[in-house]
Amino acid sequence: MKPIALATVVVSAAAAGAAFFLYQQRAQRVEAPPPLATQAPVAQLSETIPEFQLADRDGRMRSLADWDGKSRIINFWATWCAPCRKEIPLLQQLEREHGPEGFQVIGIAVDFRDKVLAYADEMKIDYPILIGEQEALDAAAAFGVDVIGFPFTIFTDRRGRIVAAHMGELTAAEAGLILAAVRKVDADQVTPLQARAEIEAGLPALQHAPSTPD
């Protein structure tokens, strides 16, 4: 899997400054401090989706390859992350509105399983969720992101090529811009690199767009 150099898209330093994973050391649960992302971290992102497996809500081991042929919106989140929770209604709307055209939202919860299941039921999350603690954090690192803050979202085309990485809470306007670029890649109108350039050029004007759809 060949890495490519890419400056990860960061729209809001405050939104991107979510906490690192709450990890479990043996029988004790330890909370890591919440570092703030003060600038766009430089990443060596994979060109394509890395291979890993995590358990879904039913306990079945799943791979992102299970959704091959779809353009994937892969969202890393945690129940203790306020921007992650705020972002979920938008992700649900993206799944409902764009699922029929071939987009698939997949949540990867870097959190304790019991907390994720309870929160997913409370929020009635209707897109697939994969769950893990250290193994989910390892999955995030496998994408090549240098600084892991939550939430962050990877966008791929239908071939599994990474088109964009967005650090911080996603807004409806940003999602629209990124999905439009992914559509062009899926239609072979532009390359992932060209789509990435379009996204990075268009994002500055959207920094103050609302984080949830009207």
Considering only CA atoms, which of 175, 166, 183 is closest in space to residue 209?
175
Number of residues that make up the chain: 214
pLDDT of residue 106: 98
The whole-model pTM stands at 0.80
Domain ranges of the chain: 69-207
**The two three-digit tokens of residue 114, written as one number:** 């019991």
Beta-ladder partners of 4: 45
> What DSSP letter does each residue of the chain carry, written as one string?
--EEEEEPEES-HHHH-PPPP-EEETTEEEPPP-----SPPEEEEESBPPP-EEEETTS-EEEGGGGTTSEEEEEEE-TT-HHHHHHHHHHHHHHHHHGGGTEEEEEEEES-HHHHHHHHHHHT--S-EEEESHHHHHHHHHTT-SS--SSEEEEE-TTSBEEEEEES---HHHHHHHHHHHHHHHTTSS-HHHHHHHHHHHGGGGTTS-SS--
Q: From CA 105, how far away is CA 117, in angstroms rounded?
A: 17
Residue 23 confidence (pLDDT): 34
pLDDT score of 24: 36
Tens digit of each residue's pLDDT, the chain (214 residues): 444 434 334 333 333 333 344 333 333 333 443 333 323 443 577 899 999 999 999 999 999 999 999 999 999 999 999 999 999 999 999 999 999 999 999 999 999 999 999 999 999 999 999 999 999 999 998 998 766 789 999 999 999 999 999 999 999 999 999 999 999 999 999 999 999 999 999 988 887 555 544 4
Q: Which CATH superfamily is domain 69-207 in?
A: Glutaredoxin (3.40.30.10)
Q: How much is the pLDDT for 1?
A: 47
- pLDDT confidence of residue 210: 56
The pLDDT value given to residue 147: 67
pLDDT at position 44 is 73
d(CA 181, CA 97): 17
